[in-house]
Amino acid sequence: MQALDQAAVASPARATATTGTSRRLAIVVVAAVLLVGGVVLSLALGVREVAFGETWRALVDPVAGNVDHAVIRGQRVPRTIIAVLAGLALALAGVLAQGVTRNPLADPGLLGLNAGAALGIVVAATGFGVVTAVGAIWFAFLGAGLAAVVVFAIGHGRPVQLALAGATLTALMAPLSNLLLFRDVDALNQLRFWAVGALNGRDIDAVAVLWPFIVGGVVIALLMAHRLNGLALGDDVAAALGQSVGRTRALAGVAIIGLAGAATALAGPIALVGLAVPHAARRLVGSDYRWIVPLSALLGPVMLLAADIIGRLVKADELEAGVVAALLGAPVLIAVARGRRVAGL
């Protein structure tokens, strides 16, 4: 009789767990569908109207001399690929940053990593004449790495101090980057659109160099998801579960620097994607990083694609994706700043 009672209690629990898993899986599938839809719309929509059928023909059977096909293949395909990769990198960098610091305000922008990477690229352009993403990538990694060292040295891993240190460092480095650019007209002309997060006109050759860093960051994020769950319970609990907390943070730091540096080199210092996306994912699937990480990997590209599409349509001469992304992410930052409860942090 006791065994029957235990089975009766366990059965609803298993049913609830199954329902929760099914719901989360459905959300991930919907996010994947949104990503596919975003890619299609990014290829088809813009200042120049191109029919969906013509867009497909441009991809599978391009005609030499066809202006629509040239626009699709030469302009929209590169910026769509860059939006997907940069959105993916920024979102996962934000997830890792929030996970290892247990700080709801942590993201590559607010921690100063994007500003550090941007300053590195500006130094490469003004000091060494390197204006391509391919040539400047190592400067971006160096700048992001130095920024991370300074922020974590000042913040000592404490959430409020980390946010303040990152904001202070960003406030120092952003004007310095602008000052260097304004003193070098050639570099300013080369980087003026990149500096505000524009996806158009970017060098598609950079993708061939940068994708391994992004893929590496994605792999690390996926493999570390269960460790982030342990860290969310506190360092002592994580250590009691057999984790090496220092090693986990070091590996996550390498991934964050690689993701933030690659995204900045590709698309410029785009803000708030790394903050907004993890919070949105957490609201949808709860506090389990095994679900937050893959959902964020889908929602990051969706957000940046949406920002790019909106920017193309609201103005005849286009509004840069970085500006629109900041407008989309601002409500999330306001909600967090007002102290709304953030599950799992």
Q: What is the per-residue pLDDT for 164?
A: 84
Mean pLDDT for 40-47 is 89
Asked if residue 342 is part of any domain, the answer here is no
Write the CA distances from 228 to 96, 200, 240, 251, 309, integer angstroms.
Answer: 8, 35, 14, 12, 33
Asked if residue 2 is part of any domain, the answer here is no
Provide the whole-model pTM.
0.88
Write the CA distances from 71 to 38, 266, 281, 322, integer angstroms.
Answer: 18, 20, 34, 22
Residue numbers of the domain that contains 115: 79-337
Asked if residue 38 is part of any domain, the answer here is no
Residue recorded with tokens 């404490």: 158
pLDDT tens sequence across 112-130: 898 999 999 999 889 888 8
pLDDT above 70 coverage of the chain, percent? 89
Q: What is the per-residue pLDDT for 155?
A: 76
Q: What is the per-residue pLDDT for 82?
A: 94
Amino acid at 189: N
Q: Is 338 exposed, middle or buried (0-12, 13-18, 19+ CB in 10 A)?
A: exposed
Asked if residue 299 is part of any domain, the answer here is yes
Total number of domains constituting the chain: 1
Asked if residue 157 is part of any domain, the answer here is yes
Q: What integer best gives the mean pLDDT of the chain? A: 85
Residue recorded with tokens 């799992």: 344
d(Cα 205, Cα 107) in Å, to the nearest integer? 27
d(Cα 105, Cα 272) in Å, to the nearest integer? 10
Structure tokens at 259: 């993701």
pLDDT tens sequence across 325-336: 988 888 877 776
Mean pLDDT for 195-202 is 75
Asked if residue 333 is part of any domain, the answer here is yes
The CATH number linked to 286 is: 1.10.3470.10
Asked if residue 154 is part of any domain, the answer here is yes
Amino acid at 93: A
pLDDT above 90 coverage of the chain, percent? 38
Asked if residue 343 is part of any domain, the answer here is no
pLDDT tens sequence across 142-163: 999 999 889 888 877 676 787 7
